[in-house]
Structure 1
Amino acid sequence: MALAFSRADANDAEALAELINSAYRGETSRLGWTTEADLLEGRRIDAAGIVKLLAAADSLILVCRQHGQLLGSVHLQYGAGQVQIGMLAVSPCHQGQGIGKQLLRQAEQWAEQVWPVQRFSMAVIPLRQELIEFYQRRGYRRTGQIQPFPLNPALWTPKVGDLCLERLEKPARFSTESPPPSRVADTDAADG
């Protein structure tokens, strides 16, 4: 599957909000495996939130398209040597085809080209064990650091009590925490 990756701009805001919400919330999200529909009701983000992320300093959204069709996106936020990865989303009807793996790999590579990255981090709902396992297979590790789930009643309301987030981390490829890789062909190609 030939995919094209590019940086989103404000013109993409409506389509991005629709894609992200379809991957995480509501009945459409149940077509894929990334759904949070049993945990949260409402929207994950709106177009105004996308525009705000795009306008923020050291922030970008990477998009993935095939033949011009938006299939996936991921938000990257840089600060103090760390890139926070968030809202990795793939259209529910295109999940399970390796797009998320490619998008995450591209996001990490883009981040390392744009910023002096030491580590990547993300916050995941611990109840989403299959999602944590997906990230662990990509080199992320659980830190045990738990934080409260953010409140935003204008967009979402929890369906379960005690929702929280756990921080996952991974050293950047060229950080002082991990040795640079040898110049060997990418062995992850068989993974999706």
Structure 2
Amino acid sequence: MSTADPTALSFRSAVEADVADLVALVESAYRGDDSRAGWTTEADYLDGQRTDEAAVRGIVESPDSILLVVEREGAVVACCQLEHRGDYVYFGMFAVRPGLQGAGLGKEILAEAERRARETWGAEEMRMTVVNVREELIAYYVRRGYRRTGELSPFPYGDERFGVPLRDDLAFELLVKSL
């Protein structure tokens, strides 16, 4: 009889064969009606795509990035990007299957991402940007040790690679955590 924990997560770096599945995962977590099953949806203020195969492939192929694939019992349940940028690592493209959100996976994945940033690159800091109107999501990261900097960068209005804004007050806020 196996003693493996069926709820255990496994982590690996994405490969080319994962690209289409990861695009579908990210889209399902953030855009459209399927995303409303989770709490990370952006469907109320952004339409269109969240990412595409070219963007995901670029992360997979970059020597300074890891697109971490998270699996449970062989099925992809989440992903996140880690990009080495000097003395810090940028954390992005974090997606958990909508039906699995709110069950503690995010906390476990974030901790693993932070561990890898320290061990792989010796990073002293993790940084991310979050859409400024996402107060619930920002609060989630603050509870995990991230600090709001108040530093905003403009949302790329007119660049549909990032989605089609449904409101005119979007920006990205920088969040930072010392590792």
Q: Give the TM-score category using the shorter length.
A: over 0.9
Q: Give the secondary structure class of the aligned counterpart of 2:37.
A: coil
Partner SS, residue 160 of structure 2: coil
**Residue 176 (structure 2) aligned to one of 169, 172, 186:** 169
| Cα distance in 1, alignment partners of residues 11 and 60 from structure 2 | 16
Q: Which amino acid aligns with 1:157?
A: V
How far apart are 1:150 and its partner, in Å? Answer: 2.5
CA distance in 1, matches of 2:65, 2:35: 26
Aligned-residue CA RMSD (Å) = 1.1
Q: Is this contact kept in 1: 2:49–2:160, CA < 8 A?
A: no
Q: Tell me, yes or no, if structure 1 residue 63 matches structure 2 residue 69.
A: yes
Give the secondary-structure state (helix, strand or coil) at the position aligned to 1:53.
helix
Shift of 1:162: 2.2
Question: Equivalents in 1 of 2:103, 2:169: separation in Å?
Answer: 33
Q: 2:30 aligns with which of 2, 24, 30?
A: 24
Pick aligned residue for 1:80 from 77, 82, 86: 86
Which residue matches 2:3?
none
Provide structure 1 residue ranges, at least 5 long, that are not aligned to the other structure: 173-192
Inter-partner Cα distance in structure 1 for 2:162 and 2:102: 28
Distance 1:29 1:154 in 2: 18
Trace 1:82-161 onto structure 2 (pairs within 5 A). 82-151=88-157, 152-154=159-161, 156-161=163-168
CA distance in 2, matches of 1:125, 1:150: 11
Equivalent residue, structure 1, for 2:4: none
Structure 2: where are the runs of 5+ without partners?
A: 1-6
Deviation at 1:118, TM superposition (A): 1.3
CA distance in 2 between partners of 1:112 and 1:16 (Å): 24
Deviations 1:95-151 (A, max 9, x none): 111111111111111111110201110001121111001101110000010000124
Distance 1:155 1:63 in 2: 22
> In percent, how many aligned pairs have the same letter?
42
Number of residue pairs matched? 172
Structure with the larger RCO, 1 or 2 (CA within 8 Å, 6+ apart): 2
SS state of the match for residue 67, structure 2? strand
